[in-house]
Structure 1
Amino acid sequence: MKLTKYTHACIRLEKEGKVLVLDPGTFSESEEALSGAHAVLVTHEHNDHLDQPAVLTALRSNKVLELHAPAGVAEALQENEDVADRVHAVEPGSRFDVAGFNVRAFGGQHALIHHQIPVIANIGYLVDENVFHPGDSFVVPDGIEVRTLLVPIHAPWSKVGEVVDFVISVRAPKAFPVHDALLNELGRGIVEGHVTRIGARYGTRYERLAPGDAVEV
């Protein structure tokens, strides 16, 4: 399976001629990521993970495209009647197949930003028992051996210690960054240095991907 990273939280997965896109947000090259896609997974409603105009345009122009998201996100998109039948709500703990990919849903809520900011729904997705995208959370899939972990390396809701603990809790053999658009190179070096060094002690090889980079997973 080919994994391509886009700016911030967006990832494109390709296998056997099928394309699955996760979190095409406003910080990302959403239109490029969505080109020719068969399915979209959205972790939560924040616009850095969901570029709603770009997603609606893709749904309208690509009649095979389906979208899966937490209930609140799905309900908002379903108000557009011309695409409503291809927008599906996802519940934590569910499992489904879309465009030839098997998907499992974990978690349920966004990480706490501040006690005065309401907590919203967030779904982490495990694709083909391989790639795990947690969205804006550090939920660890229970009873699952994740092979490829997407690590939110910087966010308003996290600190470096939590990022490292997430990596060593999941213990995936491979890890790549997401949620990194707010970092400059100095900050990135600090975070990635800790993740690389400590993660390696627990069997995780962390590799930086720049926007546009692709790897086989």
Structure 2
Amino acid sequence: MRLTKFSHSCVRLEQDGSVLVIDPGTFSEVEEALAGAAAVLITHEHPDHIDVDRVVAVLAGNRSVSLWAPQGVADAVAAGLGDAAGDRIHAVAGSEQFSAAGFEVRTFGGQHALIHPLIPVIANVGFLVGGAVYHPGDSLIVPDGIAVGTLLVPVHAPWSKLAEVVDFVASVRAPRAFQIHDALLNETGLGLVEGHVTRLGSRYGTSFRHLGVGEGVDV
């Protein structure tokens, strides 16, 4: 499976000629990431994880693309598409399994990490794709009962702190890890956070490395 990193939390997965994209949001290169895609997975409704207008435009122009997302996101995309939605917009929650464009997908969690007690908690679904790549969205939910091959690590967010990020990496113990949710950090901050994740994650068997925008790797 080929993984390509786009800005912030957007990644593109390619295997056997099929393309699946996770979280094409407002900080990301939506149209480039979705070029040729057959499936889109959305972890939650925040704009940095789905640019609704641009995703709807892509799906309206290509009726072979299907989307899986929490109920609220699925409803918003379906409303934007109108009659063009058909039966290709799917609502998902945690603890489900489905096939998307030939990729086997499992879901974990169910809610967004707490930002502040005064801010309502929304739905968030983590996706394990092909039994290998885990994208947690805006959560640090450790998938149970499986061995993750490649972990996508939200390295910085208003809802997290470094200790929690390191504990997440140590708990999952994936052999490989790459960063997501990195658009809010400048080069100095990113280097500091990733340095800690690299050094401490290695104690638990995880090899972490930074992927540049547009950089791909086989996983």
1:76 to partner: Cα distance: 1.8
Structure 2 residue runs of 5 or longer lacking an equivalent are: none
State the alpha-carbon separation in 2 of the partners of residues 167 and 203 from structure 1. Answer: 10
1:84 to partner: Cα distance: 4.3
- Aligned pairs for 1:9-88 (under 5 A) are 9-79=9-79, 80-81=81-82, 82-88=84-90
Residue of structure 2 aligned with 1:177, choices 173, 176, 179: 179
Q: Counterpart of 2:57 in 1: which secondary structure?
A: helix
| CA deviations over 1:5-48 (Å, ceiling 9, x no partner) | 00000000001110000000000001100111000000000000
Residue of structure 2 aligned with 1:209, choices 208, 211, 214: 211
State the alpha-carbon separation in 1 of the partners of residues 134 and 186 from structure 2. Answer: 25
- 2:111 alignment partner in structure 1: 109
Asked if 2 retains the 8 angstrom alpha-carbon contact of 1:92 and 1:123, the reply is: yes
Asked if 2 retains the 8 angstrom alpha-carbon contact of 1:4 and 1:11, the reply is: yes
- 2:93 alignment partner in structure 1: 91
TM-score after normalising by structure 2: 0.98
Structure 1 residue runs of 5 or longer lacking an equivalent are: none
Q: Counterpart of 2:87 in 1: which secondary structure?
A: helix
State the alpha-carbon separation in 2 of the partners of residues 27 and 91 from structure 1. Answer: 25
| CA deviations over 1:135-192 (Å, ceiling 9, x no partner) | 0000000011000000000001000000000000000000000000011111111111
Asked if 2 retains the 8 angstrom alpha-carbon contact of 1:7 and 1:29, the reply is: yes
State the alpha-carbon separation in 1 of the partners of residues 186 and 78 from structure 2. Answer: 37
Asked if 2 retains the 8 angstrom alpha-carbon contact of 1:77 and 1:84, the reply is: no
